[in-house]
Structure formats: structure tokens, C-alpha cells
Structure 1
């Protein structure tokens, strides 16, 4: 595949799979993973916020499946791993709450989530790794943290390629 644009932004139907999800529910499993990550990172998601977070993740992945992701806004190529055609789906404004440890008061917060997926030149993609974007004290540190996450996605790609990343729908 030589195109710089993802198949998820080319206006054609695409199948999305989450790695190690063997029997359907790929979009829902991805959304559940995002909620788990945000909670583990100290975000507070009441019933409404959790449902809203899941809905945002699911809506963006459904856009991906319909080939309607907007380049740069929703999806971009991961240049750190050009040989494996890896892309990043971006969510920049997932609403959460954070609790102040001193006062106990809750304040509104926003999370930025990144999902790395791989394309193999077919009309399907496999989600490899998802994380909350972390920010360092400067751009260099933020980039270093982001690169670590991209490297985790690359490791997932390499470790799972022989087994189709645990996606039985793809296995021959």
C-alpha cells in the first residue's frame, strides 16, 4: 500500500478489529478498554460520562468503518513506523472529571486518546494499542512519551502478526 491516506478515510467500507478479540464486539471492546485506561489514569467517569466516552469512541470507529475519517483531524499516519502502515485515530475532547486530592472537589477535565492501528492493503484494519495522551513539561518530553506508546503498538504488531493479532475473523 503506497497511499499516505488511511483506508478509513477513502469513502469505502472497512472492517475494524481489535486485537485479541476473537469473536466480534471489536468496537465495544475498544471502547471498554478506553474507559478502563481513563479510570486507571485517575479520571472519574460517572454513568453519564462513561456512556458518553463509549459513545464517542464507538462513533469515531464507526466513521472509520464507513471510510469517513477526516485526515489530520481524526486520523494520521504514524511516521515512526512507516514500513508497517500504522495510523493513529485521535480523540481530543473526551469529557471526564478529576477529584482534587486536597479539597475532594470534582472538576471537569478533558482526555486525549490515541488508538494505533495497522493496515495491510485490504479493506480491514486492526487496532493494536490505545492510550491516553500524556504531556510532559515540554514538547520534547511529550514526543518521547508519545513515541513510547507508538513503540508499544509496533511491538503488538510484530508479536501478533503470525497469529493475525488474535482476530479469528482474519485467520485463514
Structure 2
């Protein structure tokens, strides 16, 4: 558990199987996509070269940086086979952005795994850590990294 601000380019240990080759979109990038309002498909991600993918991992998540990221992604996906990335509403008021209320879905996911998630723990997590837990616990996700995520961020 950390109390410091999230690192825009932090990748979790449970993502280690694709760090470096970037065959999947890491959670730090997925958070930035939510914050800039862009739906980037895996095919878009894979159509980028290694250097381009790394630049998205390293991209700063300041308001200005996120605005530039949105413009950049729309421009660089414009001529891709899957078409331009779609725009979405920018994430505001999401469960992972609220450090004072644990989402019910996450409490249930923790209890199912025998984990007691207390408000003090949730509040001590940084936004990226809360984002990771919420994304991995959402319905329709395969949840294969959720237990590892709980272990890593609650350690």
C-alpha cells in the first residue's frame, strides 16, 4: 500500500508477463485512456510500434498531458485498419477516483477471495492502485490477475 501519488508510468508486478513487449495495454495506460476519454482497441495498441507503445506508457498524466494524449491518439489511429480510436466521456466521479468509499463490487470480490478490504486500506491506495482493483474486478473481466493485484497493492 502506498500513499504517494500514482506514477503515470507505473506497471504492476502482476503485469510482468507483458511488460517490455507490451503485448497488452498496461493498466497505467488504460487509466490514462479513461482520463483523456479515448477507447483504444487492443488492435490499435498492437498496430503501434514498440517505441510508440513505450511512449504511451511514459506519457505524463497531467491535465495538459492528457489533452495532448487524446489528440495524439486520435491522429495516430486515424489511418489504422480498425479505424480511428473512439472518443468517450472523460472519467469523472468513477469509483476508483473516490478514496472514501469502497465500491460494493470490490468488497464482494475481496470477500470471495477471503480478503478483508477496510476503508483505511482503500483510502491509503493511490488512484492507479484503486483503478487497477476496480478494472480487474468489473463484470465481464476474466479476473485472473485480481488476486495478485489484491496481494500487491494491499501488501
TM above 0.5, one fold? no
Structure number with the higher helix fraction is 2
* Larger RCO, structure (CA 8 Å, separation 6 or more): 2
Q: TM-score, normalised by structure 1?
A: 0.32
Q: TM-score, normalised by structure 2?
A: 0.34
